[in-house]
Copies of this chain bind each other. A is one copy, B any other.
């Protein structure tokens, strides 16, 4: 078994975005674990969530973990705007920083498709999965390349963001950043000039991501914090502060426009999915509400829906509590049980 790779770069050349711009020397960053077998049928694609990175998903990979690299070839791609693939933070003029063009989830999936087919010669994925923005990519994959996805799983996710989630992306992610005087239209000289805004992103996330009752029951105690303010500072502010403000805004805008139907009929688009699909929702997840996830699943020919309670709403995917980690492990392990 090969060691997991460091971040590698797949050169996309002059890559035409769905927004009409062309990114010269566009880059798709990725990391792999395990190796592709001779039949090329053991590939698992695991794209990441907003503000995440390939590294954010490593905890689920390893011997005795849900994704065993002795059996599977696990590919962790980075998002455009995520900081490793082409992003505002690493692109040169004219598309540097505040002038990076909008990208769509479809662009990410098209780039990932090129990596899989051109670099690895993969014809079919054993599994595509992700949560939150990772789930948006999963749906885009299942709709856009139906023959290439054998199995897919959306965890705390949807094909497109709900109207509430669109409001959240604007209010919690974009506005605190772009309202910071240090933002300077995205042309700050140091990302930390926008740190007051990034902290406020953390406050909005702290307010909206935990399940109702989290603060009432003082669940921050059980995960090592001494007060609400301590949890907000050491967990939520600390989570956002290292991230590049332009990259976050790029990811938020991309998330807002995600739509595998391309502005068409979403029910019809989901009806074209050929993958065996698993749709998991968490009780109390306001971002991707179980009622809405269930409707998504009913539009897919071969889908199973499950709502899981007693966990931390959208925050479940962060695996902060023992119960959340256990539920995430169980879900992921089941996905590769034939």
Contacts and interface: CB of A to CB of B under 8 A. Distances in A.
Give the interface centre of A163, A168, A197, A232 by most chain B CB atoms within 10 Å. A163
A58 interface: no
A289 interface: yes
A206 B164 CA distance: 9
Contacts of A207: 164, 167-168, 171-172, 208
A197 B171 contact: no
Interface stretch (A61-69, A100-108, A173-181): A173-181
Contacts of A232: 167
Interface size class of A (residues with CB under 8 A): 20 to 34
Interface string A156-188: 000000111011101110011001110000000
Contact of A179 (B166, B196, B206, B291): B196
B197 A179 contact: yes
A235 interface: no
Contacts of A162: 215-216
A286 interface: yes
Give the interface centre of A168, A171, A204, A208 by most chain B CB atoms within 10 Å. A171
A200 interface: yes
Interface in A177-231: 179-181, 196-197, 200, 203-204, 206-208, 212-216, 218, 228
Closest 8 CB pairs of A and B: A163-B215, A171-B203, A164-B215, A167-B207, A181-B181, A171-B207, A163-B228, A175-B200
